[in-house]
Amino acid sequence: MDNEPSRVSRRAAYRLAGALLVSTVLLAEGSAGAEVTSHEGKAYHVRYVYRLTNKLDRELKDVRVYIPIPETSPRQEIRSLEIVVPDASCEKRTVTDQYGQKLCRIVVPRLGPKAATEVGFDCEAVLRPRPRVRLDRARAGGLDDVPPEIRKLYTKNVKYVYDLDKEEIQQTSARLVRPHENLLDKVMAIHDFVAQMEYKRDGRWDSACVVLGRKNGSCSEFTYLFCALCRAAGIPTRFAGGTCYRRKKGQAGPVEDTVYHRWSELYLPPYGWVPFDVTRDRAVRGGKPKRDCVGAGPDNVLILMHGAGGSRCLGNEYVGSNSQPLAIKRERTFLWTRKAASSAQRSGNRPRSSRFVSE
């Protein structure tokens, strides 16, 4: 979870929302291999409100916004998704970054002095309980079993993220994995080391070496360090990011998420990409690190994207980005509403929305 700025006013968010739509890994000796179980999920309406405010006394032209497009997977079903723009003058187009992540590129042709506008999406999704993956140490492959294209793309350094050129990262990684031969044992040594950090949000995303030195960080910084230490050992990594359903007990009405969440995924032969949420496995009050989210991503999360930093569309962001950042104040809010399994279709007034087109 990140303290990434900031909050859309409730009135603006609800006005735009209208009628809202929206594994544990067992390191087992000699088990049957990868087993994934899933169940019927819960339906939600999720509205993403990306508010842009021009801070300058002059007009801004051709403001580009990139919004990741959530896709159907074993843990989520995207039943509908519509891009929301203020009017027909905004260009909408689907693009793909170097990691294969699909995004909607929105171009706002003009944003007047001190003016604000809102874009986003309206999504209906069914979220299933996180898949439980059983990893068998006896079946675990080695790094030689990683496809060359995966190794090339997902073990390299990324500026402001992994710091693989820093001696501290290389030495720490080597110290952690040196006692182990099995690839899963190496990964778990790194996991348990990072999970001993303190969770702290300060509104920044510092790179891995800085996080290593201060021993605390947000979910993005836990992810940066975990991925960096794995990459230094030659283990391919990427991250996933999304929005969380953060309903408090007794809370009524739409649920806001302005914090979001990011976690890691490792490429482990023969299983492929396996999630690791080190932030949620962190030790509490001096206890031992947990392993509840080793091989299982977080619950109640709409996954928006997969990437590894340095995206040609998102940069190091994961819920969206925009051009002219020094001139624009941005506020990004997700509004969640639980949907009954047999609820009717949306009704009432809606903002202008349309399906994106491919480029």
Tokens of residue 110, six digits: 């003009």
pLDDT at 170: 98
Q: How far is CA 168 from the centre of its chain?
A: 27
pLDDT at 1: 59
Nearest-angstrom CA–CA distance, 186 and 139: 15
The domain made up of 142-307 has a fold known as C8orf32 fold (3.10.620)
According to DSSP, the β-strands at 301-307 and 237-244 are antiparallel
Q: Which of 309, 328, 318, 265 is nearest to 4 (CA)?
A: 318
Q: How far is CA 145 from the centre of its chain?
A: 27
Q: Where are the domains of the chain?
A: 10-130+318-342, 142-307
- The DSSP annotation for 206-224 comes to --HHHHHHHTEE-HHHHHH
C-alpha atoms less than 13 angstroms from C-alpha of 140 in its C-beta half-sphere: 24
pLDDT at 23: 30
pLDDT at 290: 92
pLDDT at 341: 57
Nearest-angstrom CA–CA distance, 293 and 305: 19
Decide whether 10-130+318-342 matches 142-307 in CATH topology.
no
C-alpha atoms less than 13 angstroms from C-alpha of 280 in its C-beta half-sphere: 18
pLDDT at 130: 81
pLDDT at 201: 86
Sign of CA dihedral 283, 285, 287, 292: negative
pLDDT at 242: 98
Who contacts 332 (Cβ-Cβ below 8 Å, separation ≥6)? Answer: 4, 6, 8, 48, 49, 50, 51, 258, 319, 320
**With contact defined as beta carbons under 8 Å apart, do 276 and 262 qualify?**
no
CATH class assigned to 10-130+318-342: mainly beta
Task: Print pLDDT tens along the chain (359 aa).
Answer: 565 444 444 444 444 443 332 232 333 333 333 333 335 789 999 999 999 999 999 999 999 999 999 999 999 999 999 999 999 999 999 999 999 999 999 999 999 999 999 999 999 999 998 877 888 888 889 999 999 999 999 999 999 999 999 999 999 999 999 999 999 999 999 999 999 999 998 888 999 999 999 999 999 999 999 999 999 999 999 999 999 999 887 777 799 999 999 999 999 999 999 999 999 999 887 789 999 999 888 999 999 999 999 999 999 999 999 999 999 999 999 999 998 755 434 433 344 444 433 33
Number of neighbours of residue 216 by Cβ within 10 angstroms: 14
pLDDT at 297: 86
Q: How far is CA 295 from the centre of its chain?
A: 16
Nearest-angstrom CA–CA distance, 47 and 301: 14
- Enter the pTM of the model: 0.85
